[in-house]
């Protein structure tokens, strides 16, 4: 995550968004061609709490940072989570 902080803001956001959306698409069995709504709640997309935990763990490994469960549920859309991770 420290390397991410060294990137210009727009590049950092692009990278984080690509990772987050990719993880959620994979968890939801979506293809890269499927449009992923950044403003729809995780649970509204059909995510279960178990699946959401799996996505969280995967993102933590890829981003090399801890994502608290409170932050995850406090930012219940991909867009909000991306904003949180880029802050």
Give me the torsion for CA of 57, 3, 40, 33, rounded to 10°: -90
The pTM assigned to this predicted structure is 0.88
The full length of the chain comes to 87
Whose tokens are 């279960």? That residue is 48
Domain annotation for the chain: domains and CATH numbers? 2-86 (1.10.1200.10)
Tens digit of each residue's pLDDT, the chain (87 residues):
557 777 788 888 999 999 999 999 999 999 989 999 999 999 999 999 999 999 999 999 999 889 999 998 899 999 999 999 998
pLDDT score for 79: 97
pLDDT score for 45: 95
């Amino acid at each position: 995550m420290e390397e991410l902080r060294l990137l210009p803001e727009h590049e950092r956001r692009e990278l984080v968004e690509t990772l987050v959306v990719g993880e959620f698409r994979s968890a939801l069995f979506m293809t890269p061609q499927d449009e992923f709504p950044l403003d729809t709640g995780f649970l509204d997309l059909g995510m279960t709490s178990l699946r959401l935990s799996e996505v969280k763990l995967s993102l933590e490994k890829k981003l090399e940072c801890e994502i608290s469960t409170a932050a995850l549920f406090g930012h219940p859309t991909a867009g909000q989570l991306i904003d949180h991770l880029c802050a």
